[in-house]
Amino acid sequence: MIAVQFDHLHVKSQACEVSARFYTNAFGASIVSTAQVNGNTRIVLNLGGVRLFIEDAAADASSAPGAPAKGLEHIGLQVPDLDAAVAHLEANGIELAVGPRSSARPGIRVAFLYGPDGEYIELIERR
């Protein structure tokens, strides 16, 4: 068996500064560093204890597929109060794609939105 621990998520962006601002404004992420990597700007954020790399994508890069999709489908972010989180997002001009709604699992409520680069993001409240 190989011993592993989670290291980071990596989002390729059409405008990494815009995407970084989205995650800081919407979810309280903090900027850890900014660097040039292979000629592209990479901004590293701390998003709820997870490193999120946001890096400029090549001009000819394809867009992420819509959900549902095979492979990585969405980023899940747990929130203590879904209604307060939704109110915060709406106050910042961010629209939901789905929800909020109750899950088939007791005590679970979810909502979904799209990030600035088409990444699908789930907000989940567990009670």
Task: Give dist(CA 119, CA 90) in Å, integer.
Answer: 18
pLDDT digits (tens, 9 = 90+) for 81-106: 999 999 999 999 999 999 899 887 88
* Residue in this structure with the two tokens 């600035």, named with its chain if needed: 116
Quick count: other Cβ atoms within 10 Å of Cβ 72?
11
**Mean of the pLDDT values across residues 40-56?**
94
CATH class of 1-60: alpha beta
In the chain, where does the domain assigned CATH 3.10.180.10 lie? 1-60, 63-127
Lookup: tokens for 51: 């490193």
Phi, psi of 111 (to 5 degrees): -150, 155
pTM for the whole structure: 0.86
Give residue 52's pLDDT band: very low, low, confident or very high (50, 70, 90).
very high
Architecture of domain 63-127: Roll (3.10)
What is the sign of the dihedral through the CA atoms of 62, 68, 71 and 73? positive
